[in-house]
Amino acid sequence: MTTLYLASGSPRRRELLTQIGVPFSPLIVPIDENPLPDELPRAYVERLARAKAQAGLAALVDPRDAVVLGADTSVVLDGQILGKPQDRDEAVATLSALSGREHQVLTAVALASASKVVARVVSSRVRFRRLTRAEIEAYWATGEPRDKAGSYAIQGLAAVFVSQLQGSYSAVVGLPLGETAELLAEFAIPCWQQLPVHSQEGAGRE
């Protein structure tokens, strides 16, 4: 029986895997997330996703029946990776730059086993409406941007900033579910293994 491990501390990725009914065990693996010199954003996110999956596999005592999932998400504007903000000033500058513009969100997902590693990169486009300085500062005060790539969370309070989305919503959150399901199938790991029991009250009503 194959055991899936998630090499991520992200609660959002845990929630997304749970959403599609895939059981997993969490792993925390330390990875240097600094870009390499002249590394392009797409290559960067795929490298990190693969590194997380492979590091997770290496950390297991017995990896023979294990598959490890690693993922990475980056916000890209004008070809530059916008990482997690170091402080308030950086978050304000990032959100000001995103205001009224379209940016790219790249999410890579990688799966590693003892026999192979596979990966996919998904690109989405997000457009923000024009933000006021007061909105940006109020958003920073909520605490939400502090640990988020690009200084925002589309699934959280920053949803009100988004005027348009082209691509995968779940990828922008942190894990492209359609592509992840396809990769899991390559390792004979099905979705919908664990589904919530819904109430039958009102069944049959239109």
Q: Which candidate, 46, 11, 65, 54, places its Cα nearest to that of 29?
A: 54
Map residue 197 onto helix, strand or coil. coil
Best CA proximity match to 7, nearest among 91, 152, 109, 122: 109
Tell me the one-letter amino acid at 53: A
Give the span between the Cα atoms of 201 and 183, in whole angstroms: 36
Structure letter (DSSP) for residue 57: H
Q: Could you tell me how many helices (H) and strands (E) the chain has, helices first?
A: 6, 7
Of 72, 78, 87, 89, catalytic: 72
Per the annotation, the verdict on 72 as an active-site residue is yes
Entry field: residues in the chain: 206
Q: What share of the chain is helix, strand, coil (3-state, %, to 5)?
A: 35, 25, 40
Return the bridge partners of 82, or none: 75
Mapping DSSP onto H, E and C, the string for 65-76 reads CEEEEEEEEEEE
Query: What are the catalytic residues?
Result: 72
